[in-house]
Structure 1
Amino acid sequence: MLATVFQALQSGLLDALQVAVETATGPAGLLIIAVYSFLIAIVLPLPSEVVLAAPLDLGLGTWGTYAIIMLVSGLGKAAGSVVALKIGNEAKEYGPITRALQRSRFDVVAWSERRTVEIARKWGYIGLAVALSVPFFPDTLSIYAFTVLEEDYPKFAAATFVGSVGRLLVTILLYAAGVDIVAHGGEFLQ
């Protein structure tokens, strides 16, 4: 099943989904942002910062629109993290996801577990929120790495929400400070 999902994603669906977010307008755009953020937490290796590019035009001004985007994205990612935690807990028991990741080109499991588990053990849910606040680092990687140690769904979702909003705030602040985000892959804030 996972192989089918990954094949579909590689066949251009990733690009189409990212374009959908970047061109989402009005209230319907909020639904697209929520779904995109939900999927990022579970399976999509895409930048979550792209939601800031959505030209929603909700009549709330720039900061009001950013606030709504951060809220919707954070809630979507928090909901997705609960699903990821469930998958991660099942993977600990059955191992197919872990084996698939270990067969990948990069030893994602070894690297992410080593680094992220260190953070999780030392800082717990605060560590998850901080890890998710780092712009341009894959959300999915951090979320699944933290599932190794965690089982409290509400706390996990809350930490994911805080980290998601934190990442978007950091991205906006970097942009406002004049950091050349475009050079770092953030073409969405042009």
Structure 2
Amino acid sequence: MVAPALVDGVALGSFEWLEHVVETTTGWAGLAIIFVYSFLIAFALPGVSEVVLAAPLDLGLSQAGRLALIIVVSGLGKAVGSVFAFHIGQEAKESGPVIGFLRRSRFDVVEWSENKTLQLARKWGYVGMALALSVPFFPDTLSIYAFAVLEEDYVKFALATFAGSVGRLLVTLFLVGSTVAAL
């Protein structure tokens, strides 16, 4: 577990400090932070990826250019992170004890994936994965792992994750609109 960090005298627990860094970073180094955050959100961090849209990067670009760059960098980070999750999922589906542990866990990830994600994957394949990942404010780590157990192609998996990540941020911009665009 990560120790709480102090930001402006306020203790931030677990991974809130990382979200705070993303939300307050400026300049070109902020793109690296966005990439790392998106990479980690794909396979390890709880939470949502939309926070990257709030990064106040001062890059000398127009607002649209800044948002486009953030979206592409975040999508690339999540695609690379999803390849790690994909590899872990491939190993897990061959491990009886891992599946047993998941079935006994507090949240039955296997049952959830069989009920919702499996239906999407069977019907729509990688397009279904991209659509599932386009849903804003839903932790996508769970969807990535659920699809990782079902699919077999690393490149298509990464491309679907990239498309879903970009779609998610675009949907968020559409829903939130001028609030995010004013940042």
Q: TM-score range by the shorter chain?
A: 0.7 to 0.9
What is the identity, as a one-letter code, of the residue corresponding to 2:156?
K
Corresponding letter in the other structure for 1:65: R
SS of equivalent residue, structure 1 residue 156: helix
Amino acid at match of 1:57: D
Larger Rg: 2
Matches within 5 A, 1:79-158: 79-95=80-96, 97-158=98-159
Cα distance change on mapping 1:62 and 1:101 into 2, 3 Å = farther
SS of residue paired to 2:138: coil
Query: How far is the alpha carbon of 1:104 from its aligned partner?
Result: 3.4
Residue identity over aligned pairs, in percent, reads: 65
Amino acid at match of 2:36: V
**1:18 and 2:12 are equivalent in the alignment:** no
Question: What is the identity, as a one-letter code, of the residue corresponding to 1:161?
Answer: F
- Would you say the 8 A contact 2:117–2:143 is kept in 1? yes
Aligned partners of 2:55, 2:149: CA distance in 1, in Å?
A: 33
TM-score (norm 1): 0.84
The Cα of 1:9 is off from its aligned counterpart by 8.0
Cα distance in structure 2, aligned partners of 1:104 and 1:12: 24
Distance 1:9 1:27 in 2: 27
More helix by share: 1
The aligned residue for residue 2 of structure 2 is 8
Counterpart check, 1:172 vs 2:173: yes
Q: CA RMSD in A?
A: 2.4
Letter in 1 for 2:85: A
Aligned length: 176
The equivalent residue for 2:47 is 46
Query: 2:58 aligned with 1:64, yes or no?
Result: no
Code of the residue aligned with 1:8 in structure 2: it is: V
Secondary structure of the residue aligned to 2:68 is helix
Unaligned runs of 5+ in 1: 1-6, 179-186
Residue 43 of structure 2 aligns with an amino acid whose one-letter code is I
How far off its partner does 1:24 sit? 1.3
C-alpha change, 1:124 and 1:176, in structure 2 (3 Å) is same
User: In the alignment, residue 23 of structure 1 is paired with which amino acid?
Assistant: T
Paired letter, 2:145: Y
Q: TM-score, normalised by structure 2?
A: 0.87
